[in-house]
Amino acid sequence: MQARGGIEGSSGPEPLTGATAAAGSAAGASGLLGDTAARDYSRKLRLFNAFAAPELQLAVTHLGLAPGMRVLDAGCGTGEVLQWLHEAVGPAGMVVGMDLAAAHAQAARAAAPAGAQVLQADLLRACIAPGALDLVWSVNTVNHFRDPVAGLRSLAALLRPGGRIAVGQSALLPEMYFAWDARLERLTREAVRRYYQARYGLDERDLRGVRNVLGWMQRAGLGNVAVRTLVIERVAPLRKADEEYLLEAIFRGTFGERLRPYLTAEDHQALAGLCDPQHPAFALRRADFHFLQTLTLAIGEVSS
């Protein structure tokens, strides 16, 4: 993809834009998990952002943003977090969202508050001048880089001395979906892992390397790295946003038919019943439904 040489729809300070931004094209580039400029999973991103909104907003409050700061949402997806970042830095600040996928950037522009800017660009060729930012916020993105440490170094170069990178990552610990059936839950997680290994040609070290996000940040030269983990916890009865995410993005989008080759017929049948709103065993209708997922926020500084 050819990253833009300027900031589309910019109403902010021009020094943010690098004069030699984005040499070359990333149109054919693919991330570790198959991301390209043409790939579109904006529906899943919207569902997650609505589902995890309370925890994401809490994470933003932990950043200690102040009016006038310049912030990049690196891998902004559909852009819902841009509003919260913009509220934190105020009209004197600057918020920019950036995503590789054209569909995601288009959705983010529609969601962004007035004054925020959205770029479709390769994060490794970001069209932002070095040293221009106070903070880079990046959630569930760094694990898509083929070389996460190099990616973090590229993002760190955009920060002023003393600037910070906040890397958020969900599910460093296994999620709990079926509290009443630990065995099926374990087999389902293993089936998901085998599916992704087959689809992307990855091994478990590739898929789970993000567990060492602290080490990645240290090796990227970031200092004073602090880590905090929030728990996303949901119990029945669920909010509409919770049910929509769990049903569409997880039960249908992640589990579903794709796992059939990796489960016995009996286990797949049991899983299908738990994931089917028309089935008596549908998990989200159970009075004892209890979901747990972690959201880890690691914040590191560029040396002054």
* DSSP letter for each residue of the chain: ----SS-TT--S-GGGS-TT---S--TT---TT---TT---HHHHHHHHHHTHHHHHHHHHTT---TT-EEEEET-TT-HHHHHHHHHH-TTSEEEEEES-HHHHHHHHHHSPTT-EEEE--GGG--S-TT-EEEEEEES-GGGSSSHHHHHHHHHTTEEEEEEEEEEEE-SS--BS-TT-HHHHHHHHHHHHHHHHHHHT--HHHHHGGGGHHHHHHHTT-EEEEEEEEEEEEESSPPHHHHHIIIIIIIIIIIGGGGGGGS-HHHHHHHHHHH-TTSTT-GGG-TT-EEEEEEEEEEEE---
Are 199 and 88 within one domain?
no
**Is 8's pLDDT higher than 50?**
no
Are 124 and 267 within one domain?
no
Are 87 and 120 within one domain?
yes
**Residues above pLDDT 90, as percent of the chain:** 84
Sheet holding 223-235, edge to edge: 117-120, 94-99, 70-74, 133-139, 159-170, 290-301, 223-235
- Is 191:259 a contact under the CB 8 Å cutoff? yes
In a domain, 58, yes or no: yes
Are 153 and 276 within one domain?
no
> Which structural domain range is residue 92 located in?
14-169+207-230+294-301
Strand partners, 230: 295
In a domain, 255, yes or no: yes
Are 139 and 51 within one domain?
yes
How confident is the model over 277-292, as pLDDT tens digits? 999 999 999 999 999 9
> What pLDDT, on the 0 to 100 scale, is given for residue 203?
84
In a domain, 71, yes or no: yes
How confident is the model over 142-184, as pLDDT tens digits? 999 999 999 999 999 999 999 999 999 999 999 999 999 999 9
In a domain, 6, yes or no: no
**Is 41's pLDDT higher than 50?**
yes
Are 60 and 196 within one domain?
no
Are 224 and 146 within one domain?
yes
How confident is the model over 80-97, as pLDDT tens digits? 999 999 999 999 999 999
How confident is the model over 199-258, as pLDDT tens digits? 999 888 888 889 999 999 999 999 999 999 999 999 999 999 999 999 999 999 999 999
Are 122 and 22 within one domain?
yes
In total, how many domains does the chain have? 2
> What pLDDT, on the 0 to 100 scale, is given for residue 206?
83
Strand partners, 300: 165
Are 143 and 38 within one domain?
yes
Mean pLDDT score, 115-136: 95
Are 214 and 282 within one domain?
no
In a domain, 196, yes or no: yes
Are 110 and 249 within one domain?
no
Mean pLDDT score, 2-28: 35
What is the CATH number for 131? Answer: 3.40.50.150
In a domain, 1, yes or no: no
Are 102 and 218 within one domain?
yes
pTM of the model: 0.90
